[in-house]
Structures are given as C-alpha cells and as structure tokens.
Structure 1
Amino acid sequence: MKKIAMILAALILVILGAFWFLTGGALNDLIKQQIEQVGTKVIEQPVTVNTVDMKLLEGAGTIKGLVLANPSKYTAPSVFSLDEVTLDINLESLTTDLIIIDKIVIDKPQAFVEFTENADANIKDVLDTIKKNTASNNATEPASQNTSAATKEPIVRVNKFVLAGVALTVDLSKLGNKAHQAVLTDINLTNIGGEKGMPASQLGTELVKQALSAIWQQAKKQQTKILKDEAKKKLEEKAKEKLGGLFDKLNG
C-alpha cells in the first residue's frame, strides 16, 4: 500500500511538472532562450528579449522587449526593437500536426534605417545575412518533416501577421542630409509558412525576414521621396536666386 502511494505521488509530481511547463515557467524560459540564441546566430548580431509569457491553455502569448542590435559599422544601437508582441493561438490546432497561430500583432515597433554613401543600409545588411544563413533551410525541410513522431519538430502556420504603427527613422546623414521620422501605416502579412506550415525553428526567422523586408521597402520609398523633395527645394531656391538677380539688374 505504501509503495502504491509513493508511485501515485510521483505521478502527481510529473503531471504537475508537465502542467507548469505548458502553462508558464519552463516554457517561457525556453522560448526566450531559443529566440535569443537562434536570432543571434541567424542575424549575426545580438538579439535580446525581456520577457515571454505564454498561456497555452488560454490560446494567448506575449513577448516583450525584443531588440535586434545594429551591425557594428552603423551608429544606432538597434535596427529593430519592440515593446510587445501578442499571439492569438488556435487552441484546437494544438492537438493536430499543424499548429495554427491565428494572429500575431507587433504594436508600435521602432525601426532605424541608416543609409550609407554607397547606397547600402543596415537593414539591407541584416536581410542579406538572414538570407545567407537560411539558404539551406529549404534543402533540410523535407528531412525534418520525415522524422519520427517522437522527434518530429512542430509545424506552424501564422494566418495573419500585423506590424502596427511602425515608428520609422530614415537616417540620410551620410548622404549629406539628416534623420527623418515617419509613422508607417499598418503592414499586414498573411499565411506565413504556407498551407502546410513550416518547422517552428524556421518560423521566427521567416517572420523577422518578412517584417524587415516590408519595412525596408517602405524605407526605400521614404528615402526616394525625401531626396526628391530636397532636390526640388534646391532647384526652387536656385530659381528664386536667379530671378532675384534678374530683377535687381532690371531695376538697377
């Protein structure tokens, strides 16, 4: 009888341990660690996270204080940072082979894009590094999907990914201009991972890549507009100077 009681007590401890892992503590620490380690390896710059709070039983999660450091040859401390990411997880999908995240919202992130004299930019360098370090993912994906059920990596799809109110700084100081600020309209991306989803280890990188790509496209548009406006302004000023000189001659 005593032996049975000890076995039951051990089982309860195991169950409680698993429950704690799935609802907080260990899972949060693991996700934080994975974001920092994988992120740093992929972009070759420090990636840090403040806190992770996953509530799988409620189908929700929050990641706070994520920062992607700027490559060392640039001046700003970060290329991308955010206060909070919220996740809406499809609870029914947690029991299937395809985990579905209905929506991820990054609210009011900050992006700092520095252009150089030769038309390079920090965000472009980061994207190039990501592409270089993930070039072999497609080749290895089939193998990861064919592994045994015990070791099979979770496959995930994100239905909607929203970058809300991105605070963008476009720094053209090295082009003889200055830093300009703008708040972008919301960027909405859909079906990240495709219909079949992708391995969880690749999903975070894909989200970062698509987010930075969308911001990079907006930054290039801002750069073009700013430089065109500056060129137009200088032409108008020169025209006024010439007209002023002409009027001075006529009235002299």
Structure 2
Amino acid sequence: MKKVLIVLLIILIAAGGFVFLGLSGLDDLIKQQIETQGSKVTKTSVTVSKVETKLTEAKITIGGLGIANPEGYSVDDAFKLNTVRLDLGTSTSEPYVIEEILIDAPEVLYELGSAGKANLITLKENLQASLPQSETSEPTGEAANPLVSVKKIKVQAVKLKLNLQALDLEQLPDDKRQFELTLPTFYADAVGVPDGIPADQVGAAIVDAMLDNLIKEGKRKVKGIFEDEAKQKLEEEKQKLEEKAKEKLKGLLGG
C-alpha cells in the first residue's frame, strides 16, 4: 500500500505544492487540486463533486467533474464528466505509468459562437497554451513534479450536444440548431508515452487528447447539417424550376 500511496500522491497532487499530513483528507485534497489546477489551465471554472481513492486496488474515481464553457459562450458547461476512473498501475519509478483512464458517460457541448468558432476549440487553445511546445521532456529530478505517462484513455457513451443557436441562420430548422446524439466508444491518444511528461501537465494533456476526437466529431456533424440543408435547398429550387417548365410547356401546347 505504501508504494501505491506514493505513486498516487506524486501523480495526482504533488504538483500542487502541499504538505501531506494524513490519509483522512486525501480525497478532499485531490478534489481541491483538480479544481485549482484545472481552472488554471482551462482558464474557466472546473468543479468536482467527489473523489474516492482505493489504495489497496491502486484506483481512484472522480465523480461529477464539470468544466465550464470558455468566456464568450453560453453559461452551460462544456464538459460534465460523470465518472472518471484511474487505474494507477504498479510502477514505482519514472515515468510513473497510469495503465488506463476510463471516462464513462460524459456530457459534452459543442457550441458555435456568433463568429462560427466552437467552444471546444477555444478550450483546446487554452489548454495548449499551458502545455510546453516541445514534445519531449527531460527528467525533472524533482520529487514534486516527476514524469508520468498514461497508456490508455477510454471514452465511452459520450452524449454530444450541438448548439448552433448563436449563428444567424434563419433558414435552419429549430431541430437542427440544437440537438443531442450518442457517440460510439473511442480511445484518445496516449499521453507521455514512452518517456513521460511532468505530472503538472498530465491533466491538461488528457483533456487535450480527448478534445481532438470530440472536435473532429463535432465538425463532421455540423458539416453534415449544412450539406443536408444545401441539398434540400437545391432540391426545392429544382422542383420549382420543373413546375415552371411544366407550366410553360402547357402554355406552348395550348393546355
């Protein structure tokens, strides 16, 4: 258990710069660090409902993790991660390996602002600004900020909500301006494999990796909406032209 505790503390909260005094407040301490560091790197509010650690199983569960929309968008949350489970593995030297992170049934908002820019793209830009430009990391030599890698990030049962209401699109039906769909399970890119990244960058890197998939899916769906709408308009215009041609032909034939 001692090795598991050391790894857990290093990975999740050592970067916060606290003095660990006992196990009784561990869950609350992790919750506080996620909210503080998360709000810093996303440049928006991050909240957590609860954290549960199981040291004997080397696992941690984060419940009700919310990431507010960036400035300039609606007051709805960009993310509601109902359950996040971490399998910390058994490594006791750098890079410390998180075997798997499971993000179960997240609710994600893909919202286009009045200028046509998506909230998730703005959030991704905020995250990337907090991450170093170099893809490689040298050993830190500091116990407070060691190297960490995440081998697998599984995201399942995503409820993706699209909101296009801020756009000036009077011709777009209401049912296509705001709606929800469930995405198939996907795996985000691994983080810090094989050499690891500093522990204080892991959280931002995980969300950043997940955003790549969600932004891609959001763009694909929005593109499909506009393509379908364009096809419908063309079909309507075609029908109008056909009706006019029929009327003209009747006139020519004396019908």
TM-score of the superposition, structure 2-length normalised? 0.80
Q: Is the 8 A contact 2:189 2:209 kept in 1?
A: no
Q: Is the 8 A contact 2:49 2:63 kept in 1?
A: yes
| Structure-to-structure mapping, 1:114-153, within 5 angstroms | 114-135=111-132, 138=134, 142=138, 145-147=140-142, 151-153=143-145
For 2:22 and 2:56, locate their aligned partners in 1 and report how far apart those are by CA, in whole Å: 11
Match for residue 12 of structure 2? none
For 2:244 and 2:75, locate their aligned partners in 1 and report how far apart those are by CA, in whole Å: 44
For 1:220 and 1:101, locate their aligned partners in 2 and report how far apart those are by CA, in whole Å: 30
CA spacing shift, 1:27–1:140, aligned 2, 3 Å: farther
Matched to 1:166, the amino acid is V
CA spacing shift, 1:179–1:76, aligned 2, 3 Å: farther
For 2:186 and 2:126, locate their aligned partners in 1 and report how far apart those are by CA, in whole Å: 23
Q: Please state whether the residue corresponding to 2:145 is helix, strand or coil.
A: coil
1:157 alignment partner, one of 144, 149, 154:
149
| Structure-to-structure mapping, 1:160-179, within 5 angstroms | 160-173=152-165, 174-176=167-169, 177=172, 178-179=177-178
Q: Is the 8 A contact 2:188 2:213 kept in 1?
A: no
Matched to 2:110, the amino acid is V
Tell me the matched-pair count. 225
For 2:156 and 2:83, locate their aligned partners in 1 and report how far apart those are by CA, in whole Å: 11
CA spacing shift, 1:237–1:76, aligned 2, 3 Å: farther
Pick which of 176-185 and 212-221 moved more: 176-185
Match for residue 218 of structure 2? 219
Structure having the higher helix fraction is 1
For 2:86 and 2:144, locate their aligned partners in 1 and report how far apart those are by CA, in whole Å: 23
TM-score of the superposition, structure 1-length normalised? 0.81
CA spacing shift, 1:123–1:83, aligned 2, 3 Å: same
Structure 1 stretches of 4+ with a deviation exceeding 4 A read 138-141
Q: Is the 8 A contact 2:35 2:46 kept in 1?
A: yes
Deviations 1:183-231 (Å, cap 9, x if unpaired)?
2222212431111222221111100111122211111111111111111
For residue 118 of structure 1, report the CA deviation from its aligned partner.
3.0
Q: Is the 8 A contact 1:67 1:80 kept in 2?
A: yes
Deviations 1:74-98 (Å, cap 9, x if unpaired)?
12411111210112221x31x3333
| Structure-to-structure mapping, 1:43-54, within 5 angstroms | 43-54=42-53
Greater RCO (Cα-Cα under 8 Å, separation 6 or more): 2
Match for residue 14 of structure 1? none
| 2:38 is aligned with 1:39 | yes
Deviations 1:17-43 (Å, cap 9, x if unpaired)?
x8962xxx3221121111100110111
Matched to 1:170, the amino acid is L
Match for residue 65 of structure 1? 64
Match for residue 185 of structure 2? 186
Measured on the aligned residues, the alpha-carbon RMSD in Å equals: 2.3
For residue 152 of structure 1, report the CA deviation from its aligned partner.
4.2
For residue 163 of structure 1, report the CA deviation from its aligned partner.
1.2
Q: Please state whether the residue corresponding to 1:49 is helix, strand or coil.
A: strand
For 2:88 and 2:98, locate their aligned partners in 1 and report how far apart those are by CA, in whole Å: 4
Q: Is the 8 A contact 1:158 1:190 kept in 2?
A: no
CA spacing shift, 1:185–1:243, aligned 2, 3 Å: same
Deviations 1:135-169 (Å, cap 9, x if unpaired)?
47x59954x6123xxx3424321111011121112
Identical-residue share of aligned pairs (%): 32
| 2:93 is aligned with 1:101 | no
Q: Is the 8 A contact 2:137 2:196 kept in 1?
A: no
